[in-house]
Amino acid sequence: MLVVKGSLNSSRLSVSLAGLKLVNPTMLASGILGYSAETLENIVKGGAGAVVTKSIGVKPRSGYANPTVVQASCGLINAMGLPNPGIDEFVKEIRRAKTVLNVPLIVSIYGFSEGEYATVAKKAVDAGADAVELNVSCPHVKETGSEIGQNPEVLSKVVRKVKVSVDKPVFVKLSPNVTSIADIAESAAKAGADALTAINTVKAMAIDAETVMPILSNKVGGLSGPAVKPIAIRCVYDIYEQVKVPIIGCGGITNWRDAVEFLLAGASAVQIGTAVALKGSSVFKAVTRGIETYLKSKGFESVNEIVGISHRC
């Protein structure tokens, strides 16, 4: 077991992300488990270098009726509707998580106004969050998520307001459902974002031919999983060309090769979500080991050396 631990924590794999120290570049993406300290602890045992919670708002929210998840050919479409207990309840879970987790805890946040984002961020940080990730990209809830992240002016206001409210890194999770993700990324960076997560789910829909009905109760949801990987890699690549803040790659990563492709495109770390269903929580270990083997075989001393190198080609 010591060998395993050594492997997952080797200096070759460690990453500094906007001031956060990660023992390896794999992170749990927001929305997956993430309601409780115990489930996050399980993910860390599975090898994650950092974890992101479910998106939390000012007030409790019960989300949409089922069906909230539908299987597509190469991924999942979900419209959960941001169910969460609200920050005043969730601070208990943050405090408990901080006592059991030995990796950075990032609290995902959504709001219906810049003030709401800032309020939740402040409470999360006061409770012990090591960073916050602004969900400005959920594609299926009105007046928040991507409705904020698709508008550069509104997005900038939100980021600025959160930045002056907390003294911890502020990540911004971007939507691929825009004309130019690089332009949006630039707005977020100029407003003070410390890192950018790309991408959230791709707006999608599923219809049942027999009943002629949209399957999700919300009709429209967001596609995740292997189907979105090529889109996500292109987004990371575009952002890296235009913006200098660190990028966290996210979208369809299932194995080490996927993760390496994101790093080559310009991501400093990666998030994994849907693959937890496919492979269980040990997916983080498997991806990390694979990255390490790749680095060794190519003669790289550190994972940081491969970030963005495809841009030289």
Partner 1 sequence: MSEYRTAANKLRTTRILSIETESPAVKTFTFKGKECAKAKPGQFLMLWIPGIDEIPLSILDVEEDGTVAVAVKEVGEATQALHRKKTGEFIGVRGPFGNSFTVNKGKILLIGGGTGIAPLLFLAKKSLYKVEKLVFVMGAKTREELLFTNKLRDMCSKGNFIATTEDGSYGVKCLATTPLESLLAKEKFDMTYTCGPEQMMRKVFDLAEKHGIALEASLERLMRCAIGLCGSCIIGKYRVCRDGPIFTGEQLREVKNEFGISKRDFNGKKIPLE
Q: Can you give the binding site for partner 1, defined by CB under 8 A?
A: 31-36, 38-39, 41-42, 54, 60-63, 65-71, 76, 78, 80, 83-86, 89, 206, 208-211, 213, 215, 217, 273-274, 276-282
Cβ 159 to partner 1 shortest distance, Å: 26
Cβ 308 to partner 1 shortest distance, Å: 30
Which of 75/246 has CB closer to partner 1?
75
CB 76 within 8 A of CB 69: yes
Cβ 75 to partner 1 shortest distance, Å: 10
- Establish whether the linkage from the previous residue to 199 is cis, with ω within 30° of 0: yes
Count of CA atoms in the C-beta half-sphere (13 A) of 50: 31
Which of 16/71 has CB closer to partner 1?
71
Tokens in use for 142?
């009105």
Which of 82/159 has CB closer to partner 1?
82
Helix (H) or strand (E) holding 203: strand 202-205
Cβ 73 to partner 1 shortest distance, Å: 8
CB 288 within 8 A of CB 27: no
Helix (H) or strand (E) holding 17: strand 15-17
- Tell the residue number behind the tokens 């940080």, with chain if given: 125
Cβ 72 to partner 1 shortest distance, Å: 9
Question: Which residue in 138, 235, 250, 313 is the catalytic one?
Answer: 138
CB 49 within 8 A of CB 294: no
Which of 160/219 has CB closer to partner 1?
219
Beta pairing partners, 22: 15
Q: How many other CB atoms are there within 10 angstroms of residue 40's CB atom?
A: 25
Look at residue 45 and give its three-state secondary structure.
helix
Residue type, 121: A
CB 97 within 8 A of CB 37: yes
Give 281's contacts (C-beta < 8 A, 6+ positions apart): 42, 43, 45, 46, 47, 48
Active site residue 313: no
Which of 89/301 has CB closer to partner 1?
89
Which of 133/186 has CB closer to partner 1?
133
Cβ 176 to partner 1 shortest distance, Å: 20
Closest CA to 168 of 192, 190, 151, 200: 192
Closest CA to 283 of 249, 259, 251, 262: 259
Q: Which residues are catalytic?
A: 138
